[in-house]
Amino acid sequence: MGEKLITVKEVSLNNNCPECFSKEGLELTFKQKFIETKFSKSITQEIATEMHCNVCDTTIYPVNWTEDIERIYEYQMKAFVPKKASKKYNSLFWIIIGITAAVIIAAVVLVLINLPV
């Protein structure tokens, strides 16, 4: 339970890695925030990105990006379509709602039955 980032899309880039200068292995990952509680699961609109080089096994932070990498990043951000924000309620939520509704209905019925005529 709690918050986590789920990978939505991974893009291989043909740019040189700023660390090892390899033209292969640079990868941009788009992640979306996923929140799970006892009562619901939801996907938010919050997006996180991460750039990683698989050749030198290094995370590439924006401070180290070249102009080419920044240009490709901006293009990929425009092209990226996140999953729709959604919320799904678990069965525990619906059970509690059902029990609460049944108690309220029972209370109303009891009050109506005991009203003086």
Evaluate whether 53 touches 27 at the Cβ level (below 8 Å).
yes
Tokens of 104: 């309220």
- Position 105 scores a pLDDT of 94
Q: How confident is the model at residue 117 (pLDDT cuts 50, 70, 90)?
A: low
pLDDT over 90 (residue 29): yes
Pairwise CA distance, residues 44 & 68, whole Å: 30
Task: Give the pLDDT confidence of 34-90 residue by residue, as tens digits.
Answer: 998 888 889 888 889 999 998 888 898 988 888 888 999 999 988 888 888 888 898
Write out the E strands in 37-113: 40-53, 58-60, 86-89
Q: What is the mean pLDDT of residues 108-115?
A: 86
**CA-closest candidate to residue 73, choices 61, 87, 83:** 61
Q: What is the mean pLDDT of residues 1-6?
A: 84
Quote the Cα angle for 65-26-66, to 5°.
15
* pLDDT over 70 percentage in the chain: 99
